[in-house]
Structure 1
Amino acid sequence: MKFIIQRDQLIASVQNVMKAISPRTVIPILTGIKVEAKSHGVTLTGSDSDVSIESYIPAEENEKVNVEQIEEGSIVLQAKYFPDIVRKLPEKTVEIESDSDLKVTIRSGKAEFTLNGQDAEEYPQLPKIQTDDSFELPIDLLKSLIKQTVFAVSTMETRPILTGVNINLKENVLKFIATDSHRLASREIPVTNTNIEFNNIVVPGKSLNELNKILVDAEETVEISVTNNQILFKTKHLNFLSRLLDGNYPETSRLIPEQSKTLIQVKTKELLSTIDRASLLAKEERNNVVRLTTQGTGLIEITSNSPEIGNVTEDITVQSIEGEELKISFSSKYMIEALKAIEYDEVSIAFTGAMRPFIIRPVNDDSILQLILPVRTY
């Protein structure tokens, strides 16, 4: 195998596939990056058997040559050393060559490295997903679906299914739901031009976080395909394959209250910064709890009290308050994360009493929903 490649292209691809490589894998060869050269371009692969990422560099694109003098072949390089070497090479192009003894020479300018490679035949074959059953989404829309839900997954392995995001596609509506049983985040969007349906697909939150980092905010679309235990996200130069979590996701619709007793409409940024300030005195020991109290005509009071430290009180003017008076305590961390995920200027918050879950939504948009369980404070 031999080729000469643009160094910046190689660095970008290496960084992408590194996101799937874990030093703790039980299969030794998976600590490496697989490099495969074909006449039309070079593909890099990284995998930890839960997530696999393939990054493709075409030989030529938009009249720009990325890879030249290609002699076909493949090799696995040690991920511990290869990325650092590539990053520190002196010139804009890199020549990579492997011989029959699996020795790999990396040249750039006057620098020359020799690395011991491994036989690519021993690298596990990635499962091929049949992409007949697929649908497309704009990349920026997929990224906002992930951003508005994934933060609410559970970090506790006691209920593994809750460490993932539940994805359903039914009657041309795609819905993402995440919950850690103290809060819930969901977002739905219409999906046209597809007739496929699936439900109870749960993608690990960790996979979606990595995918979100890798996807470039270009105007491109991403093609999504699902099989019984894998999901594939495919763009022009990237295949991102993740296993799905086993088990049934809990039925969450019954958590969402049908009616409310108190309804507040408020500017998102104002509420966010007030709760952020109140949380300064609500540090770890008491679950970061702050209290919200309605003050009659168009005012709410946000307070936090730590006996050892002190307390804080701040009033905010809200756009409107309807219904019963209310005192409610909740985790400031959950509230801050929920408000940050809603990218709208105003939110409406529907309360059903001091000990019932409450719902935060953007004003005039029901497709985004955040639910938080209150905290008992007595």
Structure 2
Amino acid sequence: MKFSIQKDYLVQSVQDVMKAISSRTTIPILTGIKIVVSDEGVTLTGSDSDVSIESFIPKEDEDKHIVDVEKEGSIVLPARFFSEIVKKLPKETVEIEVQNNFSTVIRSGKAEFNLNGLDAEEYPQLPQIEEENMFSVPTDLIKNMIRQTVFAVSTSETRPILTGVNWKLEDGELTCIATDSHRLALRKAKIETTNQEKYSIVIPGKSLNEFSKILDDSSELVDIVITENQVLFKTKHLLFFSRLLDGNYPDTSRLIPDDSKTDVVLNVKEFLQSIDRASLLAREGRNNVVKLSTMPEGIIEISSNSPEIGKVSEEVQSKSVDGEDLKISFSAKYMLDALKALEGSEIKINFTGAMRPFVIRTLDDDSMLQLILPVRTY
């Protein structure tokens, strides 16, 4: 195999597939990047058997010449060294040639590296996916839906299903839900689908985080293909496979209260900054808890008390408070995460009592909500 390629395209592709490569894999060849050169261009693959990423670099893109193929072929090169080498090469063009016994020469300008490669035939096959169950979502929407939910997945392996985000598709509406049983994030969006299939799958939070990092901010469509145990995201030059989590996701609809006893409307920025300040002292304590109390004339008091450090209290003027007086404590971190995920300048919080979960929504937008369970402080 022998080809030359524009360095910036190669670097970008290598960075993308590196997101799937783990140094902790039990299959040694998976610490490498598979490179396949064909008449159409160059395909790079990285995998840790849970997530696989395939990136394609065409010979030409929008009249720009990217790859010259002298001899087709394939090789697996050690990912860590290859990615570092490619980044630091001196010139804009890189030439890669595989010689005897998988020894690979990488040249650029006056620099020449020799890397010992492995036989690409030994590299595990990517899942073969039938594409009949496909729907498409714009890139920027998918990025937002991931950002607004994935932070709420559980980091504990005691209930593995909660380490993923539940994606449900029904009647042309995609709903993403994540919960770690102390909080919940939900985001819905109408999408175009041709088939009337219903799906409910759980995608590992780790996979979604990595996928989100690869996506650029554009409105181009991402095709999503679902099978029994895999999901495939397809963009123009990228395939991103992730295994799905086994098991049934808990029914979260009954966690979300229908009624409320106290409704508060607040400016997001002011509220977020006051929680952030209160958490300065709370963070030191073992629980990072702040307390919210309603006061006369629509004033909300945010306070925190760490006996060994000190205390803080601050008053925030709400837009409105309706219903019963309330004192409630909750995790400052959970509240900050939730507020950062919501879009809009004003939020409405529906409280159903001091020990019941409360719901945060943006005004006039029911496509997303955040739910937090309070903390007992007495």
Residue in structure 1 matched with residue 265 of structure 2 by the alignment:
265
Residue in structure 1 matched with residue 133 of structure 2 by the alignment:
133
Per-residue deviation at 1:100? 3.8
Secondary structure at the counterpart of residue 129 of structure 1: coil
**Aligned mates of 1:83, 1:100 — CA distance in 2:** 22
Residue in structure 2 matched with residue 192 of structure 1 by the alignment:
192
**Aligned mates of 2:149, 2:225 — CA distance in 1:** 20
Equivalent residue letter for 2:43: T
Residue in structure 1 matched with residue 152 of structure 2 by the alignment:
152
| Residues 228-259 of structure 1: per-residue CA shift (max 9 Å, x gap) | 00000000011000000011111100001110
Residue in structure 2 matched with residue 37 of structure 1 by the alignment:
37
Equivalent residue letter for 1:79: A
Asked whether the 8 Å contact 2:285–2:306 carries over to 1, the reply is: no
Secondary structure at the counterpart of residue 297 of structure 1: helix
**Aligned mates of 2:186, 2:337 — CA distance in 1:** 13
Asked whether the 8 Å contact 2:302–2:314 carries over to 1, the reply is: yes
Asked whether the 8 Å contact 1:39–1:70 carries over to 2, the reply is: no
Per-residue deviation at 1:195? 1.8
Equivalent residue letter for 1:345: S
Asked whether the 8 Å contact 2:33–2:78 carries over to 1, the reply is: yes
Per-residue deviation at 1:344? 1.1
Assess, with a 3 A threshold, how the Cα gap between structure 1 residues 270 and 70 changes in structure 2: closer, same or farther: farther
Equivalent residue letter for 1:194: T
| Residues 8-32 of structure 1: per-residue CA shift (max 9 Å, x gap) | 1000000000000001101110000
Residue in structure 2 matched with residue 214 of structure 1 by the alignment:
214
Q: How many residue pairs get matched? A: 378
Per-residue deviation at 1:345? 0.6
Per-residue deviation at 1:147? 0.3
Moved more, 30-39 or 277-286: 277-286
Equivalent residue letter for 1:144: N
Per-residue deviation at 1:38? 0.7
Per-residue deviation at 1:193? 3.4
Assess, with a 3 A threshold, how the Cα gap between structure 1 residues 377 and 7 changes in structure 2: closer, same or farther: same
Moved more, 149-158 or 122-131: 122-131
Per-residue deviation at 1:298? 1.5
1:79 equivalent in alignment to 2:79: yes
1:4-83 pair list within 5 angstroms: 4-83=4-83
Asked whether the 8 Å contact 1:133–1:196 carries over to 2, the reply is: no
Supply the RMSD in Å over aligned alpha carbons.
0.9
Residue in structure 2 matched with residue 225 of structure 1 by the alignment:
225
Secondary structure at the counterpart of residue 286 of structure 1: coil
Assess, with a 3 A threshold, how the Cα gap between structure 1 residues 196 and 68 changes in structure 2: closer, same or farther: farther
1:96 equivalent in alignment to 2:96: yes
Asked whether the 8 Å contact 1:97–1:104 carries over to 2, the reply is: yes
Asked whether the 8 Å contact 2:221–2:235 carries over to 1, the reply is: yes
Moved more, 172-181 or 215-224: 215-224
Residue in structure 2 matched with residue 313 of structure 1 by the alignment:
313
Asked whether the 8 Å contact 2:39–2:69 carries over to 1, the reply is: no
Q: TM-score, normalised by structure 1?
A: 0.99
Asked whether the 8 Å contact 1:302–1:315 carries over to 2, the reply is: yes
Residue in structure 2 matched with residue 298 of structure 1 by the alignment:
298
Asked whether the 8 Å contact 1:60–1:67 carries over to 2, the reply is: yes
Asked whether the 8 Å contact 2:34–2:123 carries over to 1, the reply is: yes
Assess, with a 3 A threshold, how the Cα gap between structure 1 residues 195 and 109 changes in structure 2: closer, same or farther: same
Per-residue deviation at 1:192? 2.1
**Aligned mates of 1:68, 1:220 — CA distance in 2:** 28
Secondary structure at the counterpart of residue 348 of structure 1: strand
Secondary structure at the counterpart of residue 366 of structure 2: coil
Moved more, 71-80 or 330-339: 71-80
**Aligned mates of 2:174, 2:127 — CA distance in 1:** 25
Residue in structure 2 matched with residue 167 of structure 1 by the alignment:
167
Per-residue deviation at 1:287? 1.2
Residue in structure 2 matched with residue 373 of structure 1 by the alignment:
373
Asked whether the 8 Å contact 2:37–2:72 carries over to 1, the reply is: yes
Per-residue deviation at 1:284? 4.4
**Aligned mates of 1:284, 1:367 — CA distance in 2:** 35
**Aligned mates of 1:164, 1:149 — CA distance in 2:** 10
Unmatched 5+ stretches in structure 2: none
Moved more, 295-304 or 141-150: 295-304
Per-residue deviation at 1:220? 1.5
**Aligned mates of 1:70, 1:171 — CA distance in 2:** 50
**Aligned mates of 2:162, 2:122 — CA distance in 1:** 34
**Aligned mates of 1:115, 1:103 — CA distance in 2:** 6
Q: TM-score, normalised by structure 2?
A: 0.99
**Aligned mates of 2:70, 2:309 — CA distance in 1:** 67
Residue in structure 2 matched with residue 279 of structure 1 by the alignment:
279
| Residues 77-131 of structure 1: per-residue CA shift (max 9 Å, x gap) | 0012101111111100000010242111101011111111100000000011112
Equivalent residue letter for 1:47: S
Asked whether the 8 Å contact 1:278–1:312 carries over to 2, the reply is: yes
**Aligned mates of 1:108, 1:125 — CA distance in 2:** 31
After TM superposition, which residue ranges in structure 1, 4 or more long, deviate above 4 angstroms? none
Asked whether the 8 Å contact 1:134–1:196 carries over to 2, the reply is: no
Per-residue deviation at 1:133? 1.2
Per-residue deviation at 1:210? 0.3
